[in-house]
Amino acid sequence: MLKSVLVPIHRAGWPFIGGFFALAVILGFVWEPLFWLGLLVTAWCIYFFRDPPRATPTRAGLVVSPGDGRVQMITKATAPSELNLGEAPLTRISIFLNVFDVHINRVPVDGTVTGLHYHSGSFLNAALDKASEENERQEIALETPDGVRLAVVQIAGLVARRIVCDLHEGQQLRAGERFGLIRFGSRVDIYLPDGVAPLVAVGQRAVGGETVLADLTSDEAQRLGEER
C-alpha cells in the first residue's frame, strides 16, 4: 500500500516543487487562502513528476510503450528525415499524455541509439496530427541487436515547454529504461518498422514501459478495438 502512495519523484521535478512551495509561502503572507491554493498546486506538481517503477516484458522483439497516455491515433507517416529511416510511410502510433499522466519516457526496445535530432517549433495542442511536424520535438532513432530500426519522437504540447532527453548516440539501452520526460502535457510518437502491425487500438490506455505496442517477431494483423 505504501509503495502505491509513496512513489519516487523524478529529480527534474524538485526545482519546480520547491519553487511552487516557496511561492505558496510568499502568497500566504499576502493572503492566507492563497497559501492553500499554492499548496494545492505544489501537490499537483509532486504528482506530475512521480516516477513509479514498471514491470517491463523482456522477451526479444516486444516493443513497449515509451509513455503513459491514450493511443490518440494510428496512421501511416514518413519518419523524420533526419533519422534516415527512409521515405516510405511507416505505421506511427501516437500516444497523448495529459497533465495528469506520468510523464517519464521509457525506451521501447533493447538496442542502440543511432540518431538524435532536436527540432524547435510551435506549441500546438499535442493531440493534433500536425503537431508531429510543427511542434518542438526530440527525434530518436534506435536499432535492435537484430538490426531492426525504429524511431521515437518526444513532442511538446500546448502547455509543455521543455523536453528532457538524456540519451547520446551509440548508447546501449534496455527496453523499459527511463530516458527522459516532457514537462506538462505532451505526446510521444513511435514509428514501427515496415510490415510490423500495432497490437493496440485507438482509444486504448498505454502504460509506459509495460504496454506492448507491437511484436517485431509476429505476423499478427493489426488489432481493432471498440469502446464498451
Q: Which member of 65, 94, 132, 186 is catalytic?
A: 186
**The three grid cell numbers given for residue 188, joined into one nine-digit string:** 510521444
- Residue 190 has a pLDDT of 98
Spatial distance between the Cα atoms of 94 and 107, rounded to a whole number of angstroms:
15
Annotated domain spans of the chain: 2-48, 62-215
User: Is pLDDT of 121 > 80?
Assistant: no
CB proximity list for 176: less than 8 A, separation 6 or greater: 54, 56, 64, 106, 107, 209, 210
Q: Which of 92-106, 110-124, 157-171 has the lowest mean pLDDT?
A: 157-171
| pLDDT over 70 at 218, yes or no | yes
- Alpha-carbon distance values, 11 to 38, 49, 65, 147, 150 (Å): 21, 8, 22, 33, 28
154 forms bridges with which residues in the sheet?
138, 188
pLDDT digits (tens, 9 = 90+) for 162-211: 789 999 999 999 999 999 998 776 899 999 999 999 999 999 999 999 99
pLDDT at residue 120 is higher than 90: no
Q: Examine the residue annotation and report whether 81 is marked as an active-site residue of this protein.
A: no
In the predicted model, is pLDDT for residue 83 greater than 80?
yes
Phi, psi of 175 (to 5 degrees): -55, 135
* CATH annotation of 62-215: 2.70.70
